[in-house]
Amino acid sequence: MKTLVYTSPASAGHKPPEGHPERPERLGAVERAIRSVDGLATAEPRQATREELARVHTRRHIESIFETGPSDGLASIDADTWMSPGSLEAALAACGAAVEGVDKVVAGEAEAVFVACRPPGHHAEPERAMGFCLFNQIAVAAAHGFAGHGMTRIALVDFDVHHGNGTQAYAEREDRLFFASIHQGWIYPGTGSNADQADNIVNVAVERATGSKAWREALEEKIFSRIPDLRADLLLVSAGFDGHRDDPLAGLDLTEEDYAWAGERLGALAKEHAHARLVCTLEGGYDIDALEKSLTGFLRAIAAA
């Protein structure tokens, strides 16, 4: 697939407190992964507008984030979620990249887009920031597909080790979006049980220590098998690499080879069942070496699909 990666200097300006897992050093792993894959095009995004954010988030939430961003020092939203002077610009760039990514695949200028920006977004709910996330860029991308391009069906797969509660909250009010999440059960944020299902929502909560075979089978049987019948205009992916066995925040037993496999399968599904339109955003992945290896395999597999 013709693959475009968005990066932004603004991503480095989001600086939570010392020792926070979602640290700027993650960008070094991301940049090394991008450089190691041949044939990737790169670009810098614009910032998302308030109007684009308001397709997902309430005006009150948007203004709160704009007002909370400090001119110096740090501002705490909750125990996990912080803003530094550069955080607002970083979050707006991440959302802008997701919006532009949709435009690029619709125009045929790319078949796959990876948004290599931070902070992550899938925990951000329409009315609040949480879980390291300020705005929900993958939901903003979906909303842009509907409002900006007249799409009638979008499929969204979230394989971050934590449930994408914020994205599900958007899907609960937008039935044109099919949202499917595979994640470790009973860890943060405590949502997404196997009983939490709807016509357009699939949650697959796996046990601690789940490894390659069971994880791949669950994805194939419970999520990927649903994609062909959707006839989606676009395939979106919340790509979190924190299910790796070396990640400090969870307990799955995945390897970088599993993420390469996921990239291969998602690329094939997008080509066959979503008009060769695939847009992915970076979510978790907090062990630096594991993130670099996992993202390298994922990007290489998509580019080769």
Structural domain boundaries of the chain? 3-304
Listed in sequence order, the residues at least 6 apart from 190 whose beta carbon sits closer than 8 Å to its beta carbon are: none
11, 44, 55, 104, 132 from 286: Cα distances, Å:
16, 23, 30, 29, 12
Q: Give the pLDDT score at 305.
A: 96
pLDDT at 304: 97
The whole-model pTM stands at 0.98
CB 118 within 8 A of CB 8: no
Average pLDDT, the chain: 98
The answer to whether residue 163 is catalytic is: no
CATH tag for 3-304 (out of 3.40.50.720, 3.40.800.20, 3.90.1010.10, 3.40.120.10)? 3.40.800.20
User: Which two tokens mark 272?
Assistant: 């066959």
Average pLDDT over residues 125-138: 98
pLDDT digits (tens, 9 = 90+) for 270-290: 999 999 999 999 999 999 999
Kindly report, residue by residue over 204-238, the tens digit of the pLDDT.
Answer: 999 999 999 999 999 999 999 999 999 999 999 99
| Distance of alpha carbon 113 from alpha carbon 134, whole angstroms | 21
- Only one residue has tokens 């700027």, namely 24
| Inter-residue contact 269 to 224 (CB < 8 Å) | yes
Q: Which residues contact 218 (CB under 8 A, 6 or more apart)?
A: 182, 204, 206
Helix, strand, coil: what percent of the chain each, to 5? 40, 20, 40
Regarding beta strands 201-206 and 75-76, do their DSSP bridges make them parallel or antiparallel, or are they unpaired? unpaired
Q: What is the pLDDT of residues 76-100, one digit of tens each?
A: 999 999 999 999 999 999 999 999 9
Task: Name the active-site residue from 61, 123, 163, 183.
Answer: 123
